[in-house]
Homo-oligomer: A and B are copies of this chain.
């Protein structure tokens, strides 16, 4: 079953699953990180704050934190 997760309005640069497999995080040049339900594909959260494109995203091993790297020279948790 192929699911298309829509929401980002620019290039999506990186994806990562949470360690428990329940969430997908995506980083985009639209300056946001989005969290999705990996089973239903539902959009759960939009993490804003970066002032430039987001290049990379990673979950912490316990799945409670998401780190994102950006062209705005900051890392966000």
The residues of A with any CB-CB pair to B shorter than 8 Å are 1-6, 8-17, 19-21, 24, 26-28, 30, 34, 36, 38, 41, 47, 49, 55-62, 65, 67-71, 73-77
Contact = CB atoms under 8 A, between A and B. Distances in A.
Contacts of A14: 55-56, 69
A70 B20 CA distance: 23
B60 A38 contact: yes
B69 A15 contact: yes
17 contacts: A2-B77, A5-B76, A8-B73, A9-B73, A12-B75, A13-B69, A15-B57, A15-B69, A16-B58, A17-B60, A17-B67, A19-B61, A24-B67, A24-B75, A26-B75, A28-B73, A38-B77
